[in-house]
């Protein structure tokens, strides 16, 4: 069964709206979670590494003020797309690893959130 839960699964909203996506580890503590973005028929692009209790680490080219990440507890990370515009429309997926990012365990993915900005 799923070990990482992501919510909501689909969002359709108007341009200018801010959208919050939640990622939860269901039966383990995740000190590190990862956020990815995926365009149709493309690969997963790592956006940022979410660290519990500290600032997220963003990949080059990802706007930290646009994509706000909060990892306030060991089981929850949130991604907020601020003032979303049509070009932000995409499939956003989170992942988490038992034992933290450097552990020898595989990453488990959430079901993803399909964001459509009109």
Partner 1 sequence: GENVEQHPSTLSVQEGDSAVIKCTYSDSASNYFPWYKQELGKRPQLIIDIRSNVGEKKDQRIAVTLNKTAKHFSLHITETQPEDSAVYFCAARGQGGKLIFGQGTELSVKP
Mask 53-92, x = binds partner 1 (CB under 8 A)?
----x--x------------------------------x-
The residue written with tokens 């034992």 in the block is 99
The residue written with tokens 């909203």 in the block is 13
- Judged by DSSP in three states, 71 sits in strand
Question: b/e string for 67-80 if b means 16 or more Cβ within 10 A?
Answer: bbbebeeebbbbbe
Q: Rule CB under 8 A: say whether 3 interacts with partner 1.
A: no
Among 69, 71, 112, 117, binds partner 1 (CB under 8 A): 112
Positions in the binding site for partner 1 (CB under 8 A): 32, 34, 41-46, 49, 57, 60, 91, 93, 95, 97, 100-104, 106-112, 114
């Amino acid at each position: 069964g799923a070990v990482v839960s992501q919510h909501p699964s689909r969002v359709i909203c108007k341009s200018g709206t801010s959208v919050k996506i939640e990622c939860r580890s269901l039966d383990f503590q995740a000190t590190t979670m990862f956020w990815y973005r995926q365009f149709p028929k493309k690969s997963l692009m790592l956006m940022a590494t979410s660290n519990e209790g500290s600032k997220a680490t963003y990949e080059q080219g990802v706007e930290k003020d646009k994509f706000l990440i909060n990892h306030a507890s060991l089981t929850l990370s949130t991604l907020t797309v601020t003032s979303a515009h049509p070009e932000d429309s995409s499939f956003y997926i989170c992942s988490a690893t038992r034992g933290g990012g450097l552990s020898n365990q595989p990453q488990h993915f959430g079901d993803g959130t399909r964001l459509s900005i009109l």
